Amino acid sequence: MFRSLMASENDLDRTNKLVLPRWEETNGIISFWGQFGWTVRVNNPEAVRTIMYKTDIFPKTSIFDDLKYKGLLTKFLGERNMVSTNAHEWRKRRKIANPAFHRSMPVKTFSVLTSRMFEQIEKADGPVDVQNLLQRFTLDAIGLIGFGFEFNATTNPDGDWVKAYNDVADNIGDFKYLFFPILDTALLGLFPERKKKHESLDRLDELMNQVIQKKKSEIAKGGSNVDDNEKDLLTLMLEAGQGDDEKEALTPEELRNEVMLFFLAGHDTTSNAMNAVLYFLAVNPDIQAKARQEVLDVLGDEPSDVWPTLEQFKQFPYLSKVMKEAIRLAPPISRLVEREVAKDTELAGIFIAKGTSIMIDVLSLHYNPKLWKDPTKFDPERFSEGGELESMPSTYAYLPFGGGARQCIGMNFSMAEQRVALSSILRKYELSLPEDSIHKDGIVFDCVTMTFATKKMMINFTRRY
């Protein structure tokens, strides 16, 4: 594992080389050396289901609570957030956030941001660097929809706040600082470039605190006349903590940590997912044509930009299958956050001792030939009614957003953002790969330790009108 990291292999390389060949002999439960020592890596669907539902035995790890110093990642996410907390503290945060995610579905904002993306596509001379463009698009989306802040990243990629955020986000997954956190804490003075990343995070923290205070003042004055479904998540979370639930309201620090979590979870993950969808559409013209026809049946084929309404964007069942299959092959994250076994237990017939670190391996589930037919093939029909996923012994072979009670709270939000943007793209453009694409013989993934991303993705956008 360590040699693989040193060689800059990606997570899929490691999955194919180290995990899947041993799947049957280990029953999908294998130990490896990770960031905090020996960890049990689980890719047995039934064992995964047990972990997801027995949260009293398999709570989220507390390892970060015990760290004396906080590295860039732990400073970014804060000491406590919805992903890392358990029991009452998790339920309190989820109770506040749930109404926000169920009420907010800002289709109009998604449409405005997509129109800005189109402006950048039109300016491109030749193939478009969609990875870079989509990262800017989703940064604008999470800024506006998360807490009502305008980054203008799509149109101005060199803005101060864009640079500050990217400076942090692009470097929190550096494996040497994750595996040797002392380099990022006590010995930080020896790494001046890394220290600058911490300074960028300090500036982001200042911005976040200003935004939270401003939102509180606006609500105290009566708020705005914006429809609930178009309000930003921070506003909805602040409103959810008022009235009868005021004693359960989140503190400014807790709000800051949750918004930063939404930032990290909703930015790169969504852009990576959309990037993968565009690739698979570009290399599968028959699937692209079928998805486009579905969009035209709903939105029409007039030679002008048309954006789906709140009702219409739900009417793309085939496009949804395409999106689901894309994130099977290129999941937003390659593994779920570690858990710590609370007491001696048994998992799939194997004894697991109290205190063991345990991690669910998403990639090994999605690429396992013992679970999926021809797993490397892109086939949206796997997700048809009565299709392959439904006929499996366990649906826990598919976990792009986790599962159980702690399934990603932003799943529907992310899928809605993608539906609006992708349907509009299909209406206006035909997609293809450049002849010299590094992905012409198959999608190529980058070496990252936080999310699962492709290497630089260039795509041709040919206008239909």
The per-residue pLDDT for 26 is: 93
- CB-CB neighbours of 203 under 10 Å: 16
Model-wide pTM > 0.95: no
User: What are the start-end ranges of the E strands in 410-457?
Assistant: 429-432
Whole-Å CA distances, 345 to 36, 51, 349:
21, 11, 10
Closest CA to 424 of 306, 312, 322: 306
Does residue 359 sit in helix, strand or coil?
strand
Residues in the chain: 465
Closest CA to 212 of 183, 228, 182, 233: 233
Tell me the binding residues. 408
Query: First vs last Cα of the chain: how many Å apart?
Result: 50
Tell me the binding residues for heme. 408
Determine phi and psi for 241, rounding to 5 degrees.
Answer: -95, 10
| 34 bridge partner residues | 37
The total domain count for the chain is: 1
Instruction: Supply the CATH number for residue 224's domain.
Output: 1.10.630.10
Helix then strand count (H, E) for the chain reads 18, 9
- Give CA–CA dist 401/406, Å, rounded: 9
Amino acid code (one letter) for 168: V
> Following DSSP, what letter does each residue of 296-351 receive, concatenated?
HHHH---SS-----TTGGG--HHHHHHHHHHHHHS-S-SBPPPEE--S-EEETTEE
Largest CA distance in the chain: 64
pLDDT tens for each residue of the chain, 465 residues long: 878 878 888 889 989 999 999 999 999 999 988 766 789 999 999 999 999 989 899 998 766 555 555 788 888 888 777 877 777 777 778 877 777 777 667 888 899 999 999 999 999 999 999 999 999 999 999 888 888 889 999 999 888 888 888 888 878 878 788 778 889 988 999 999 999 999 999 998 888 888 888 888 888 887 666 776 678 888 888 887 665 555 567 788 888 888 888 877 778 889 999 999 999 999 999 999 999 999 999 999 999 999 999 889 889 999 999 999 999 999 988 888 889 999 999 999 999 999 999 999 999 999 999 999 999 999 999 999 989 998 888 889 999 988 877 788 888 888 989 999 999 999 999 999 999 999 999 999 987 655 678 889 999 999 999
- Give CA–CA dist 435/459, Å, rounded: 10
267 is in which domain, residue-wise? 2-463
